[in-house]
A and B are shown apart, each in its own frame.
Chain A
Amino acid sequence: MKKIEAIIKPFKLDDVKDALNELGIKGMTISEVKGYGRQKGHTEIYRGAEYVVDFIPKIKIEIVVPAEQADLIVEKIRNAANTDKIGDGKIFVMPVERVVRVRTGEENRDAV
């Protein structure tokens, strides 16, 4: 089992979700996060005072999938989230030791 964490631009969420649906991914968890990488932040102006805002809004998607599908899914997410501009985000893949479905107690492959 692998966990895929993708940080993407907020307006790309629907594209990524649709791409994952096509692959038969049945669920995901997303959160609104803030951060910065090479893109850096932006400037905001309030009554004449300029502020540099470092942290900009992004969406973090978390999904857990069978290990053999991970590469394909990463590729799909990358294609869907790509705008060819700086700030498109990052994808992290990491191993998962164990998955348990709360309702039934099913484990691992059966639980995702």
Chain B
Amino acid sequence: MELNTGDTAFMLIATALVMLMTPGLALFYGGLVRSKNVLATTMQSFLCLGIVSILWVVYGYSLSFGPDVGNVIGNLDWAFLRNVSWETGTGRTIPDLLFCAFQLMFAIITPALITGAFAERMKFSAYLFFTSLWVTFVYFPVCHWVWGGGWLADMGALDFAGGTVIHINSGAAALVCALVIGKRKGWGKEAMHPHNLPMTVLGAGVLWFGWFGFNAGSALAAGPIAALALMTTQVATGAGALTWVLAEWKIQGRPTTLGAASGALAGLVAITPACGFVTPLWAIVIGGVAGVICYLGVILKGKLGYDDALDVVAVHGLGGLWGALATGIFASVGYQGLLYGNPKQLLVQAIGAGAAIAYSVVVTFIILKVIDVTVGLRVDSDKEQQGLDVAEHSEVGYSI
């Protein structure tokens, strides 16, 4: 296809916006942990920018988007970005290399999201292995299923900007991580407050801003669908922030800032698969319901007693699942959902979500077990007590 400079300019910016989400996530997560772990937590998000960028060039892009093998994975024809041109677009109006860069940013943030589940207790070496193996064996295949011409795409599953590939996938992996690595030392006995909520709220703001690149950019063209995706993203996020705060005010008697930031994130997650397929009015419903569901998910975690330290399961897993199903209910732009006379779409969405959850759970479990018996997942008890910043990195976030 002929390149379009407007589309190309837009996608260059969208790619940079999505990149900014990962440092935004580092701020968001960094503020939520205790001060002795702020750098280790920040590092676990930030360094995904390093690890995944390299793997993407070597074989990740090829496995995700390269020529299809059996509807489940790409082959290695595009390894080291062979055959990926910066001058032409294959079926798109932007250079292939730009599409590759845009998709790289998605591959970076997904493992970074999972780190919230094992925050404050995983060895740095184990984190490096986990991230490398997880993107290789979970992210690249699932990405191929949905966007790379794999079986979920063939079945007609709708995922505009990555609800299944990114959020359900990382949420399911996060649950397994929290269960396999176990609770933080002192969980349920010691107070584990967020140490810097202004930082967390700033992180949420950066994520929200970057998410315009993520969602509107997924249109891959500077056109009407990008405009729709941008607006649905905005209103769903606002609705999520509002409903989480109202729900906690009603249930616990206090509206909190962390609730507003978390609700915004819940709204962003839920609208992601739907943003280019639904009207802004339905987007408000999708985001608003997400704020309440994810809040209840956090409460449920406390009752079930697993230590998903930064609530990846409740926000990304549940929010993502709701978003995937909501796409099958409310879609009306280009595709029809349940409300527009096509109940089959909801079923297809459920199958897509279920497949991603099942695959992610099984493979994540195997990866964690392999790392545990080889390098070990968890820092020893003394180091955990001391804090990962000093114990693993020999530095501190704050000094008087």
The judgment on whether A and B are partners is yes
Binds A, one of B122-130, B131-139, B218-226, B294-302: B294-302
Cβ distance A55 to chain B, nearest Cβ, rounded Å: 11
Q: Tell me which residues from 290 to 320 in chain B have a Cβ below 8 Å from any Cβ of chain A.
A: 295, 298-299, 302, 311
* B393 in the interface (beta carbon within 8 A): no
B197 and chain A: residue at smallest CB distance: A46
Are B258 and A46 in touch, CB under 8 angstroms?
yes
* A98 in the interface (beta carbon within 8 A): no
* B185 in the interface (beta carbon within 8 A): no
Q: A51-B191, A51-B193, A53-B191 are in contact. Are A45 and B254 (CB under 8 A)?
A: yes
Are B299 and A48 in touch, CB under 8 angstroms?
yes
Are B252 and A44 in touch, CB under 8 angstroms?
no
A53 and chain B: residue at smallest CB distance: B191
* A86 in the interface (beta carbon within 8 A): no
* B262 in the interface (beta carbon within 8 A): yes
Q: Mark A67-99, 1 if CB is under 8 A from B, else 0.
A: 000000000000000000000000000000000
Are B256 and A49 in touch, CB under 8 angstroms?
no
The interface residues of chain A lying within 8 Å CB-to-CB of B295 are 48
Cβ distance A33 to chain B, nearest Cβ, rounded Å: 15
Cβ distance A4 to chain B, nearest Cβ, rounded Å: 26
A44 and B400 CA atoms in complex are apart in Å by 25
The interface residues of chain A lying within 8 Å CB-to-CB of B299 are 48
- Number of chain B residues whose Cβ lies closer than 8 Å to a Cβ of chain A: 15
The interface residues of chain B lying within 8 Å CB-to-CB of A46 are 193-194, 256, 258
A45 and B256 CA atoms in complex are apart in Å by 8
The interface residues of chain A lying within 8 Å CB-to-CB of B7 are none
The interface residues of chain B lying within 8 Å CB-to-CB of A48 are 248, 252, 295, 298-299, 302
A51 and chain B: residue at smallest CB distance: B191
Cβ distance A84 to chain B, nearest Cβ, rounded Å: 27
- Between A44, A48, A50, the greatest number of chain B beta carbons within 10 A of the residue's beta carbon is seen for A48
A54 and chain B: residue at smallest CB distance: B191
A86 and B298 CA atoms in complex are apart in Å by 35
Q: Mark A24-67, 1 if CB is under 8 A from B, else 0.
A: 00000000000000000000111111110100000000000000
A50 and chain B: residue at smallest CB distance: B252
The interface residues of chain B lying within 8 Å CB-to-CB of A50 are 252
Are B302 and A49 in touch, CB under 8 angstroms?
yes
The interface residues of chain A lying within 8 Å CB-to-CB of B288 are none
A46 and B302 CA atoms in complex are apart in Å by 12
* B171 in the interface (beta carbon within 8 A): no
* B259 in the interface (beta carbon within 8 A): yes
The interface residues of chain B lying within 8 Å CB-to-CB of A49 are 302
Q: Tell me which residues from 222 to 270 in chain B have a Cβ below 8 Å from any Cβ of chain A.
A: 248, 252, 254, 256, 258-259, 262
A74 and B295 CA atoms in complex are apart in Å by 50
Top-6 shortest CB links A-B = A51-B191, A48-B299, A48-B298, A47-B298, A45-B254, A45-B252
Please name 6 further chain A to chain B contacts, defined as beta carbons within 8 Å, in addition to the given A46-B193, A48-B298, sorted by A numbering: A45-B256, A47-B262, A47-B298, A48-B248, A48-B295, A51-B191
Q: Identify the B interface with A (CB < 8 A).
A: 191, 193-194, 248, 252, 254, 256, 258-259, 262, 295, 298-299, 302, 311
Q: Could you name 18 residue pairs across A and B whose Cβ atoms are closer than 8 Å?
A: A44-B193, A45-B252, A45-B254, A45-B256, A46-B193, A46-B256, A47-B256, A47-B259, A47-B262, A47-B311, A48-B248, A48-B252, A48-B295, A48-B299, A48-B302, A49-B302, A50-B252, A51-B193
